[in-house]
Every structure is written in structure tokens, then in C-alpha cells.
Amino acid sequence: MARRVARALAEIFSPGYVVAALLLAVAATSAESLSQAITMVLIAVTATSVLPMFYIVRGVRRGRWTDKHVIVHSQRRWPLLIVLLSTAGGTVALALAGAPRQLLALIAAMLASLLVAVPITLLLHWGISIHALVAAGTAVALCVVFGPALLVTVPVAVAVGWARVRLGEHTTAQVVAGSLVGAAATGLLFPLLAG
């Protein structure tokens, strides 16, 4: 039963879905008009979620990686590099499109967290948890944008971290490290850039 719950949490709170929802929420609150919000969401979500997820799912179908979470660490190089490059491209595209400062600050903070996590995973061969990074970063970002009432999202981030450990896909240290990187990026860098 615990394993089923853990698998469900890992699927429901998959990084691509969570990032897309967070960007949608921030774009909706920071854009000057509905048309600007829609344009910014399309750019941001395409860069941070749709393109990387498409690349990963296509790789799974072609047998390049075992699953959409790319749990085999030796298979993570290209998926992580695509996530990093696509997010960097999205940051540039949003800047060129005149994105609201808050949205641009958020995606820049996300990019910064990836610039920490990807080298740790690829160069040190230590699989920092991207699920935990995104879940913790999202919980903190929601508190920054919407206030302390959204601290209720922190237990969700903790549950996602538990799920990754329970499934044997990360160690507790890898989940804690991912959580710290994500929380620092959105708790420190995001407000600094947005201000």
C-alpha cells in the first residue's frame, strides 16, 4: 500500500506537471492582461515542461531510457541537459517577450537551481532529486507569491520526498539536497530578482 501511495505521489507531482502549474499561477497573477498571461504561459510551460517531457517520453518509446522519470542514473545525461538548455532558452525567450518581472525572476531562479543540480548529478554521479527540488521550490515560491497561508503546501513537498526514498529512487540525502537547492532558489534568489 505504501509503495502504491509513493508511486501515485511521484506521478501526480512529477516535475513537469508541478512546474507548469506554478508558472501558470505566477503568470496569471503577474501579467498585465489575459493575452500577456496566455503568451507568457505558453512560452514558459513549453520551455520548462512540454519540450523536456516530449524529449524524455520519446526517448522512453525508443528504448533510450527505462522510464519517464529516468531513474537509471547513467541514462540521465541527455534528459538533464535538455531540461537545462530548454529552461535557459525559455528564460531568454521570456526576457525578449517582455515577461512580467515576477515570472522572469521565477524562471531564472529555476534555471539557477538546475545549474546547481545538473552538474552534481552528471559530474559527481550523485543523483540529487529533481522531484524534491521542484516540490520544495514550488512550495516556497507559492509562499513568496501568495503569502504564508500557502505553507500548507510544504507537507506535499515532504510527501514527494518521502515517495522518492520509499520507491528506492533516491536516498534521504539526495532528497534533502534537492529540497534545499529548490527552496534556496525560490526562497532567496526568486524574491531578490523579482524585487
Instruction: State the Cα–Cα distance between residues 41 and 90, nearest whole angstrom.
Output: 11
Q: Is residue 178 over pLDDT 90? A: yes
C-alpha cell at 167: 520507491
Confidence (pTM): 0.92
C-alpha cell at 189: 534568489
Instruction: State the Cα–Cα distance between residues 64 and 148, nearest whole angstrom.
Output: 42
**Where do the domains of the chain lie?**
2-194
% the chain with pLDDT above 70: 100
pLDDT per residue as tens digits for the range 127-174 = 899 999 999 999 999 999 999 999 999 999 999 999 999 999 999 999
pLDDT per residue as tens digits for the range 35-91 = 999 999 999 999 999 999 999 999 999 988 888 878 777 888 899 999 999 999 999
| C-alpha dist (Å) from residue 98 to 23, 40, 102, 186 | 16, 9, 11, 21
